[in-house]
Amino acid sequence: MTDTIEVGTASAAPGEVADGWLPVAGLPTGGEERLPVTVVNGAEAGPTLWVTGGVHGDEATGVAVAQDVARTARDLAGDLAGAVVVVPVASPAGLRRNERTTYYGDDDPNRYFPDVERESARPPETQERVDTRLFEALADSADLLVDLHTAGVGSVPFAIRDRVLYGEGRTEPGAEDLAADLDRLVEAFGLPVLTEYPAEEYLEESLQRSTAGAALNTAGIPAFTAELGGHGVVEEDARAAGVAGTLAVAAEFGLLDSVPADVGEPGAGVPGAPVEFPVRRFVGPHAESAGLVRHRVEAGDAVESGEVVADVVSPHGEVLERVESEHDGYVVGRREGLAVYEGQAVASMAVRDDGDLVVPREDDGE
């Protein structure tokens, strides 16, 4: 039988449901920064699925999906074999500002989770301490993780599958086993799948220190990031797809016998991938001229290498540059805003990927 699960003040024995709070930092005005937690512990033994949302404070749909999964899991507690732990708001300091970043620091709060092969001579600052305390709670009980996000305005929903690294902390056969579970996880969710950046770029961007990256590559927990449309407001089709996908994950790994009939099919209501080849995440192409951007393609459009995806024009409307795609693939989102500077990306894309999912971790210079 599943043991009692405790996350912060939320404690649920088998067959119980508990709401509570996970303290993660002290506040200068007194009291604590704390994350809301729901623990739904089934009466029967099984894996523990964690669901996190809102690590970026303006990503509304991810928060809504996490809340709705918690409510549905509560309703299905009697049928649950295993447990569901939900943290719908992983960054209250971002949520209060309705912004991606927090007032702990003006950089990405999703780049401070522990890295098994990283050491620093400097003591951790506030955001790293917050992320570490969430990670420790997650690593203590999670067997699976779905981390819920959104991308840019008008983006199509997709799932990001991290590359599984091996080296000092994991053998290649161990990484292959972990990758097989990761494949099951992302396929069950039902959205188009983009593999993360190549390993060198992945480490340069510190994505092994994201919520899903750290769960996967430090804790060895199958984990992925779901990007559920645009940020700022709850998008209903993406919300429904996120709830259905998360419950489909629960069914795939034996927590539920099946997805409830009233929830819908995973991936329903969102566009499928317009290409048949495997793809990876790519930010670009980039403008070489400063000006005003005029997009020639929309999110979800397939493009070929050499195809023009945007024009950069002067304030008088003169075309300064035609920005061409460097790869075959499709557009997942377009640059927000009208102004573009030299070297800035005009789109986010899913581009052809011939790389391996399981890769050696090379020295990243730290």
- Tell me the residue ranges of DSSP E strands in 106-202: 144-151, 158-161, 164-166, 193-195
The per-residue pLDDT for 152 is 85
Domain shared by 128 and 172, yes or no: yes
Domain shared by 47 and 163, yes or no: yes
Domain shared by 225 and 294, yes or no: no
User: Within a domain: residue 261?
Assistant: no
Residue 258 DSSP one-character state:
S
User: Within a domain: residue 244?
Assistant: yes
Domain shared by 233 and 303, yes or no: no
Q: Tell which residue, 44, 134, 31, has the closest CA to residue 89.
A: 134
Residue 2's pLDDT band (boundaries 50, 70, 90)? low
The C-alpha atoms of residue 202 and residue 358 are separated, in whole angstroms, by 13
352 φ/ψ sector (left φ>0, alpha ψ -120 to 50, else beta): beta
Number of domains within the chain: 2
SS3 content of the chain, % helix, strand, coil (to 5): 25, 30, 45
Contact status, residue 7 vs residue 133, Cβ threshold 8 Å: no
User: Within a domain: residue 264?
Assistant: no
Radius of gyration of the chain (CA): 21
Domain carrying residue 293:
279-352
Query: Region 97-104: what's the mean pLDDT?
Result: 93
User: Within a domain: residue 363?
Assistant: no
Query: Region 348-359: what's the mean pLDDT?
Result: 95
Q: Please say if the pLDDT value at position 366 is more than 60.
A: no
The C-alpha atoms of residue 133 and residue 103 are separated, in whole angstroms, by 18
Q: What is the pLDDT of residues 131-149, one digit of tens each?
A: 999 999 999 999 999 999 9
The enclosing H or E element of 64 equals helix 60-75
The C-alpha atoms of residue 133 and residue 130 are separated, in whole angstroms, by 5
Domain shared by 85 and 136, yes or no: yes
Query: Region 82-101: what's the mean pLDDT?
Result: 96
CA 155, 159, 164, 169 torsion-angle sign: positive
Domain shared by 105 and 192, yes or no: yes
Q: Read off the CATH number of the domain in which 285 is found.
A: 2.40.50.100
Decide: helix, strand or coil at residue 110: helix
- Tell me the residue ranges of DSSP E strands in the chain: 5-7, 10-12, 17-26, 32-41, 44-53, 81-87, 144-151, 158-161, 164-166, 193-195, 223-230, 279-283, 291-295, 302-303, 308-313, 319-324, 329-334, 339-340, 347-352, 358-360
Whole-structure pTM value: 0.95
Decide: helix, strand or coil at residue 24: strand
Residue 1's pLDDT band (boundaries 50, 70, 90)? very low
Query: How far is CA 41 from each of CA 16, 147, 167, 360, rounded to the nearest angstrom?
Result: 6, 20, 35, 37
Starting at the edge strand that comes first in sequence, how are the strands of the sheet with 81-87 ordered? 17-26, 32-41, 81-87, 44-53, 144-151, 223-230, 158-161, 193-195, 279-283, 347-352, 329-334, 302-303
Contact status, residue 348 vs residue 332, Cβ threshold 8 Å: yes
Domain shared by 233 and 345, yes or no: no
Domain shared by 232 and 288, yes or no: no
User: Within a domain: residue 11?
Assistant: yes
Residue 117's pLDDT band (boundaries 50, 70, 90)? confident
The per-residue pLDDT for 364 is 46
User: Within a domain: residue 260?
Assistant: no
Domain shared by 203 and 321, yes or no: no
Query: Region 41-69: what's the mean pLDDT?
Result: 97
Q: What is the pLDDT of residues 286-336, one digit of tens each?
A: 999 999 999 999 999 999 999 999 999 999 999 999 999 999 999 999 999
Domain shared by 285 and 223, yes or no: no
Domain shared by 312 and 227, yes or no: no
The per-residue pLDDT for 315 is 97
- Tokens 């920064």 belong to 33
Q: Read off the CATH number of the domain in which 228 is found.
A: 3.40.630.10
